[in-house]
Structure 1
Amino acid sequence: MRILRTTGRTTKQAQTLIAELERRRNSVDERAVPVARRIVDAVRDGGDSALRRYATRFDGITKQSQLQISSDEMKQAWRDASPAFRSAVQVAAKNIRRFAQRQMPKSWTFEQVAGLTVGQQIRPLESVGCYVPSGRYPLPSTMLMTVIPAQVAGVKRIVTVSPKPAPETLAVAGFLGVTEFYRIGGAQAVAALAYGTESIAPVDKIVGPGNAFVTAAKKLVSFDCAIDMLAGPTEIVITSEIGDAIFIASDLVAQAEHDPDALAVFITSNASLAEEVSAEVKRQAAGNSIARESIRNSGVIFVTDSVAESHSLTNRLAPEHLTVDNESDLEWVANAGSVFVGRYSAQPLGDYISGPNHTLPTGGLARVRGGLSVSDFVKTITIQKYQRQGIKSLASAAISLAEAEGLLGHAEAIRVRGKNV
């Protein structure tokens, strides 16, 4: 990995790169947008005919293939899976479900003033679509991470889609009891979920990561169908002064192998540790072509002038995945999708089995939101109930505000209720 010092002769180069990384706001590859738009428009207008045409072209579907996968096929895939895989899925599912249950927001009420009760009710979305990638690598873990929070939230209709789903993905679907699963992907799957076709009813929200065309399609449909976020290439930042170079390098290589466009960054004020990590990354990535390409394209080590500068730079980058040295570091972390604390907290553990969701904000979006959670599958309905005493104590203030805005009907609707209290 190249090393750039934020002070000295590489200052200008470092600051230019930092500014570029801060500007990575748009997680959508604009080159994919025109293609995605044509596909989305075609499926919205043409329904099943257009969907099947693109599924045949991109997803390997034949004219005789059924788009929907039967429950029997999913259940058989689970029975055919190895005992080790089934055991691992059960452990991961248990942890993900327990974490989602802890995240579940609560309904509540309280008395604001005498005679006024306010509160909120939590209600699940009626339907969601879960996109499970199956491109360079099959990701059955994403099936767990999207379906389980929806189940915990109480969503009635959970639809999953995946292009050329791997046996492991089918097995996880069978284990989770998925009843509606389609072997489609890309922008065509997003369009089908958003607008519906003759055979697929539309959903209220689409969640899950995907390639550039999936992300572009989610952006295009987002005013008609809710989405979770626009997910770009994987990002990792490790900010450490005392970490183990071998461990640090292993996480950088692990996340870099996701995608040639993945972002891998190490931040430290410890120059000798920076040198050790750079050498170790080179060694560990030697046999991993994708990680090697990713690190060559986007891998960088920033050597800062101080620990405080390292902290500030980390928050400026707002990474998807962040590793820090100690629990005390959580006090300065303001922007990150998911934080891994200490040398034994390997980031891939969070990809699979810890419990917190691995669908996380990229492109700096961690400045404004966290990862996918059970909250993405529910809505909050607020409640207010007045009695006579509440009207009596609050009517005059509300009338004054309404009159200040010139909304006389508002004022009168309050006034008529207060006449007899």
Structure 2
Amino acid sequence: MRIVYTKGRDRLVQQLVERRNSVEEHAVPVARRILAAVRKGGDAALRRYAARLDGITEQSQLRISEQELQQAWDEVSPAFRAALKTAASHIRRFAQKQLPREWSFEQVRGLTVGQRIRPLTAVGCYVPSGRYPLPSTLLMTAIPAQVAGVERIAVVSPRPAKETLAAAAFLGLREFYRIGGAQAVAALAYGTESIPRVEKIVGPGNAYVAAAKKLVSSDCAIDMPAGPTEIVITSEGGDPVLFATDLIAQAEHDPDALAILITTKKELAKQVSAEVKQRVRSNPIAAKAMQANGVIFVTESVAEARALTNSLAPEHLTVDSERDLEWVRNAGSVFIGRHSAQPMGDYISGPNHTLPTGGLARLRGGLSVQDFVKIITVQKYDRKALLTLGPRAITLAEAEGLKGHADAIRARGARG
């Protein structure tokens, strides 16, 4: 990992931000062509791309049968089944805590206002299975949708691993398609003869998936554009081995992953750099990511370290203590203290691991049950409340020049 002091730091930070915001741009033209082809050609086009890119024959069944899902569950190890159950239980309980509640109150006598919660009808969950199988992503995307009450959950994954199929069987999911890439996004967003369209697509994917999700977002809702994973550790003291292992754990996801340590301690910086250098020798993907995007920033003050952290708005952030939460403004998920290994959050803690990347943590948090519901506001007047508040509403309507608004209120007996 490079160690960077004050000189040249701002330029490097800018380069890192620009890099992560443009990673999928090269994929946009290809994704656009695939989307157009599947939108026009339906199943035939989808099968051609699935055969070419997902490694299946054009005659293969795209939908995975319930028997195959159940067989996968029967074949995985008891240890995997037990771990899956624990993870699913924690994710479900966390999502249930996040679920917005319905409420109403009397604004003034005779005027009741409130909100009602309604789930989306159909969502698509994209589960990557390229470099690594990711059954954990199936749990993180499907369980919040289930908690929200979504009626139809369609899962897509190219060459899904047995463990991913087993996770679907355990969750009771029955609509699972053996497709991936931009072609899967197209099928979910626009529908084909065999795959009905959905209202929203969630889940991470490669550059082509991210580009496709951006391109369909005006026709089908998406959770967020998802780029390569990011980790920032901001610390004034800790175990270099623990920091190095967390940095490598996230870096091994993708050669484009971003791994950063921010500290005022020069000696800590040197120790972590040396530890990472030694450990990545046996992890070629992490080694590539560290060489390209592994940086240790040594700042002149703690305040400077904190400001830099918030400007990066990282997907994953590790800090020393709960007191640090007071200054954290931008982060997808925060891990506190030496025992909070970041991979625990990837699997089993409960908070969602589908998190904002590319600086989007400045604007939103990670995937949650709230991504799968609509909040409908409600208002009810009685005659007395209308007569009391109507004249003021008429005044505002006339100030805006909206005569029809004022007339609709007057027609009910209000004066103004």
Q: How does 1:58-207 map to 2 (within 5 A)?
A: 58-207=53-202
Whether the aligned pair in 2 keeps the contact of 1:158 and 1:178 (CA below 8 Å) is yes
Partner in structure 2 of residue 258 of structure 1: 253
Q: In the TM superposition, what is the alpha-carbon distance from 1:288 to its structure 2 partner?
A: 0.5
> Does the residue aligned with 1:26 lie in a helix, a strand or coil?
helix
CA 64–22 in structure 1, closer or farther in 2 if over 3 Å, else same: closer
Q: How does 1:333-344 map to 2 (within 5 A)?
A: 333-344=328-339
Whether the aligned pair in 2 keeps the contact of 1:127 and 1:205 (CA below 8 Å) is yes
Comparing 385-394 with 166-175, which one deviates more in the overlay?
Answer: 385-394
Q: In the TM superposition, what is the alpha-carbon distance from 1:64 to its structure 2 partner?
A: 2.8
Is the aligned partner of 1:327 residue 2:326?
no
CA distances 1:112-137 after superposition (whole Å, capped 9, x unpaired): 11111111100000000000000011
Partner in structure 1 of residue 390 of structure 2: 395
Partner in structure 1 of residue 4 of structure 2: 4
Distance in 1 of aligned mates of 2:76 and 2:390: 66
Is the aligned partner of 1:370 residue 2:343?
no
Partner in structure 2 of residue 356 of structure 1: 351
CA 243–194 in structure 1, closer or farther in 2 if over 3 Å, else same: same
Is the aligned partner of 1:314 residue 2:309?
yes
CA distances 1:74-133 after superposition (whole Å, capped 9, x unpaired): 011001100111111001000000000000001111111111111110000000000000
TM-score normalised by the chain length of structure 2: 0.98
> Does the residue aligned with 1:340 lie in a helix, a strand or coil?
strand
1:305 to 295, 300, 306: 300
Whether the aligned pair in 1 keeps the contact of 2:94 and 2:350 (CA below 8 Å) is yes
Distance in 2 of aligned mates of 1:417 and 1:294: 67
CA distances 1:157-177 after superposition (whole Å, capped 9, x unpaired): 000000000111111111111
1:296 to 283, 291, 299: 291
Residue 246 of structure 1 aligns to which amino acid in structure 2? Answer: V
Residue 100 of structure 2 aligns to which amino acid in structure 1? Answer: P
> Does the residue aligned with 1:383 lie in a helix, a strand or coil?
strand
Q: What is the percentage of aligned positions where both structures have the same residue?
A: 71
TM-score normalised by the chain length of structure 1: 0.97
Distance in 2 of aligned mates of 1:26 and 1:284: 28
Is the aligned partner of 1:40 residue 2:35?
yes
Q: In the TM superposition, what is the alpha-carbon distance from 1:60 to its structure 2 partner?
A: 1.1
Q: In the TM superposition, what is the alpha-carbon distance from 1:63 to its structure 2 partner?
A: 2.8
User: Number of residues paired by the alignment?
Assistant: 416
CA 28–119 in structure 1, closer or farther in 2 if over 3 Å, else same: farther
> Does the residue aligned with 1:301 lie in a helix, a strand or coil?
strand
Residue 215 of structure 1 aligns to which amino acid in structure 2? Answer: A
Aligned alpha-carbon RMSD (Å): 1.2
Residue 348 of structure 1 aligns to which amino acid in structure 2? Answer: P
Distance in 1 of aligned mates of 2:353 and 2:147: 17
Distance in 2 of aligned mates of 1:24 and 1:124: 36
Q: In the TM superposition, what is the alpha-carbon distance from 1:396 to its structure 2 partner?
A: 1.4
Distance in 2 of aligned mates of 1:144 and 1:137: 15
Q: In the TM superposition, what is the alpha-carbon distance from 1:21 to its structure 2 partner?
A: 3.0
CA distances 1:355-399 after superposition (whole Å, capped 9, x unpaired): 000000000000000000000000110101011121122111111
> Does the residue aligned with 2:411 lie in a helix, a strand or coil?
helix
Comparing 386-395 with 132-141, which one deviates more in the overlay?
Answer: 386-395
Distance in 1 of aligned mates of 2:370 and 2:31: 28
Q: In the TM superposition, what is the alpha-carbon distance from 1:72 to its structure 2 partner?
A: 1.0
Whether the aligned pair in 2 keeps the contact of 1:161 and 1:183 (CA below 8 Å) is yes
Comparing 389-398 with 310-319, which one deviates more in the overlay?
Answer: 389-398
Distance in 1 of aligned mates of 2:394 and 2:19: 47
Residue 34 of structure 1 aligns to which amino acid in structure 2? Answer: P
Partner in structure 1 of residue 209 of structure 2: 214
Whether the aligned pair in 2 keeps the contact of 1:27 and 1:362 (CA below 8 Å) is no
Q: In the TM superposition, what is the alpha-carbon distance from 1:23 to its structure 2 partner?
A: 4.0
Consecutive unaligned residues in structure 1, runs of 5 or more: none
Q: In the TM superposition, what is the alpha-carbon distance from 1:302 to its structure 2 partner?
A: 0.2
Consecutive unaligned residues in structure 2, runs of 5 or more: none
> Does the residue aligned with 1:294 lie in a helix, a strand or coil?
helix
Partner in structure 2 of residue 268 of structure 1: 263
Distance in 2 of aligned mates of 1:219 and 1:28: 13
Partner in structure 2 of residue 247 of structure 1: 242
Whether the aligned pair in 2 keeps the contact of 1:27 and 1:230 (CA below 8 Å) is no
Whether the aligned pair in 1 keeps the contact of 2:24 and 2:211 (CA below 8 Å) is yes
> Does the residue aligned with 1:69 lie in a helix, a strand or coil?
coil
Whether the aligned pair in 1 keeps the contact of 2:387 and 2:415 (CA below 8 Å) is no
Distance in 2 of aligned mates of 1:274 and 1:26: 27
